[in-house]
Amino acid sequence: MKEVIEMNKEKFKIIIVIFIFSIIPACGLVYTNIKTPAPTLAIQTNAENQSKIGKASCTSYVWIIGIGDCSVTEAMKNGEIKKVHHVDAEVKSILLGIYERYTTVVYGE
């Protein structure tokens, strides 16, 4: 009986680990490199074309230090953009976030 309980505990642990990793969207265990449209933002997207690109990044090291400005405003400034067409986000993560880089990419004119 004790062996059955121990076996069920191990199965339960495996199920919990699988569940946790299944709810993390597109996160690799060792390496992640994702490019995706940014979530809906309160930005006036009134540009007719996307002739300019501006990027702004922030970086996190060992879950302790986070530096940089990855705001839409900073990306617009870096790309000399006055009117936004759309915004994308890029996420790069190594070893479950020991190193992470988040980049906001703004397209516009």
Tens of pLDDT, residue by residue over 19-57, are 665 555 556 667 777 777 776 555 666 778 889 999 999
Residue the block writes with tokens 């191990």: 10
Residue 42: predicted pLDDT = 57
Residue 17: predicted pLDDT = 72
How confident is the model over 54-92, as pLDDT tens digits? 999 999 888 788 899 999 999 999 999 998 888 888 988
Residue 5: predicted pLDDT = 65
Residue 33: predicted pLDDT = 77
86: how many CB neighbours lie within 10 A of its CB? 15
The residues pairing with 16 across neighbouring beta strands, listed in sequence order, are none
Residue 3: predicted pLDDT = 67
- 3-state SS, the chain, equals CHHHHHHHHHHHHHHHHHHHHHHCCCCCCCEEEEEEECCCCCCCCCCCCCCEEEEEEEEEECCCEEEECCCHHHHHHHCCCCCEEEEEEEEEEECCCCEEEEEEEEEEC
Residue 53: predicted pLDDT = 96
